[in-house]
Structure 1
């Protein structure tokens, strides 16, 4: 089971958008050298200005996360940060509360998905347990969505912040998810459980590896 992860947002220098895509493709080829990295996604925030990207990785345990942080991909990112990025990357450590991974045959360099969503939200202080339980209980609804290939509910430990990061084969799958029962329940409960409306960002998958 996946239990921990990393979410690393990256703001590229406008002149380096092609170079950062090349960096992600090089990172994709390094993932097999990290056997403890379960899933690895490199994404672009759609319609972002300045151009924004992110890396999202998952691990079965802390050992895998630490191995990744000291591995070749992280080292290459830090070495190239001043060239590629407007600011140093901020590494966000997350707990993966629950996840759903549907294996894809002949997945290619994007693990069978092209689109994604990053939905972050903050629980009211007295509703943290309720939000956590809501996310853990959402799996049956996600399983009923044939177009949702990978789905992760995450918590930023030590904060009231949570998120859902998920991936789809195409826009049709993403649209069905946005119009589906999980999204309806989350947004419908926002006033009761959250400090504000969830922040939804559409993602384009540049490269992904599910090991």
Structure 2
């Protein structure tokens, strides 16, 4: 079950767009190692604007992610790569579709 998420908006410093994109690609290996991170996406929203979306089964998984390698790496490189601090939003997941989750929940009939 997926109940919680994070949405992070990242704005690259001018001239650092490619470097931020490469940084995000490199974080996939850490995300794959996080057993409590159900889903992880790095996205480009617009030129120079990127995002990360993650989903978790519970608060312990979300907390572990926020204290993990990706957050640490981002914090250490934020001053170099980002035009402003990341915008981090904690989300409640209302509905989801993931591979293998084809069953219709009881609440939908």
TM over 0.5: yes
Matched with 1:65 is 62
Unaligned 5+ residue runs, structure 2? 101-106
Structure-2 separation of matches of 1:45 and 1:22 = 15
Structure-1 separation of matches of 2:8 and 2:25 = 16
Structure-1 separation of matches of 2:99 and 2:68 = 27
Higher relative contact order (CA 8 A, sep 6+): 2
Give 4+ residue runs of structure 1 displaced > 4 Å after superposition. none
> Normalized against structure 1, the TM-score is what?
0.46
> Normalized against structure 2, the TM-score is what?
0.87
Matched with 1:10 is 10
Matched with 2:103 is none
Matched with 1:53 is 50
SS in 2 for 1:22: helix
Larger Rg: 1
Instruction: Work out the number of aligned pairs and report it.
Output: 103
Tell me the CA shift for residue 101 of structure 1: 1.4
RMSD between aligned residues = 1.7
Tell me the CA shift for residue 32 of structure 1: 2.2
